[in-house]
Amino acid sequence: MSDAKSNDQVYSLKEWEDGRGVSVEITAKYLNYDISDGLKARLRETVQEKLDRGVRYFVMDLTKVSIVDSCGVGLMIGIHNLVQEKEGVLYLTGITRFLEKIFRMMHLDQYFNVVSTEEEVRELVAATA
């Protein structure tokens, strides 16, 4: 397993032992314009590199995130679309009740694959093998 922490400590990456997936933990409390504007390009580049290597499963862990603005939602949608274009799947985990309510209001709960934990994602992926 490979662990990498970004220079600005806004997210960390963990590659799965089997090489099929990557977990991205957003370590910032706020996923707003100040954070997401700069993060978007870096994260897209990282995800694209993983997709080019054949990774198709991505987990974005939002456990530490308490506030998401429209820019943060745009970041998640952009990563989702990038992964989906390569026939991959992005799962969101660690959604707080507040974020869950926002997602429902914006109908994003129907757009994203929201799962409780990374372990649950791994079980879903294993079941598709």
Report the topology of domain 3-128.
Answer: Transcription Regulator spoIIAA (3.30.750)
pLDDT, residue 6, reads 44
Write out pLDDT tens, residues 15-38.
999 999 999 999 999 998 888 878
Write out pLDDT tens, residues 80-123.
999 999 999 999 999 999 889 988 999 998 999 999 999 999 99
What is d(CA 91, CA 57) in angstroms, rounded to the nearest whole number? Answer: 8
pTM for this structure?
0.89
Q: Which residues contact 41 (CB under 8 A, 6 or more apart)?
A: none
What is the identity of the amino acid at 24?
V
pLDDT, residue 8, reads 57
Domain-wise residue ranges, the chain: 3-128
The DSSP annotation for 35-55 comes to HHHHHHHHHHHHHHHHHHTT-
